[in-house]
């Protein structure tokens, strides 16, 4: 894993971003939550990824990244990763997956995406 697109910059040494810029496999950042509540939210988030708004946004990012994982170059099993998550200050709600600017989204293959979520945390910002 030489280069990672986990936050705003390309990072050459994965140890530099350990616990700094990646998150859980659910695609959401969780603090201290019960397993039952976390599993419910994972299912809800997965449903958002089936919506036409997300599918359209995903297509834009895949085309921008030329249909390849920006980490390893693989062209199969592609997923779009959020480099950071945003929570609205007033409501505490998280942005919908398709509401992010393109610069906060990146194409990764399934393997790079899963490995990244295993070892790194995605930053969460209040907006």
Better pLDDT: 5 or 80: 80
- Beta-carbon contacts of 75 under 8 Å, excluding residues fewer than 6 positions away, are 67, 68, 69
pLDDT digits (tens, 9 = 90+) for 33-48: 344 455 555 567 888 8
Q: What mean pLDDT do residues 52-61 have?
A: 97
| % residues pLDDT > 90 (the chain) | 54
pLDDT digits (tens, 9 = 90+) for 98-125: 999 999 999 999 999 999 989 888 999 9
Structure confidence at residue 6 as a pLDDT band (50, 70, 90): very low
Dihedral sign (CA 7, 12, 14, 19): negative
What torsion do the CA atoms of 27, 32, 35, 41 make, to the nearest 10 degrees?
Answer: -40
Confidence (pTM): 0.67
Q: What mean pLDDT do residues 14-39 have?
A: 37
């Amino acid at each position: 894993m030489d280069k990672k697109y986990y936050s705003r910059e390309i990072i050459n040494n994965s140890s530099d971003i350990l616990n700094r810029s990646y998150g859980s496999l659910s695609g959401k950042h969780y603090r201290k939550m019960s397993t039952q509540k976390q599993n419910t939210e994972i299912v809800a988030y997965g449903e958002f990824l089936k919506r036409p708004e997300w599918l359209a946004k995903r297509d834009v990012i895949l085309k921008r990244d030329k249909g390849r994982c920006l980490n390893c170059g693989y062209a199969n099993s592609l997923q779009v990763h959020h480099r950071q998550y945003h929570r609205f200050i007033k409501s505490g709600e998280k942005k919908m997956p398709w509401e992010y600017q393109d610069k906060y989204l990146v194409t990764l293959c399934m393997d790079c995406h899963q490995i990244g979520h295993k070892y790194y945390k995605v930053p969460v910002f209040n907006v």
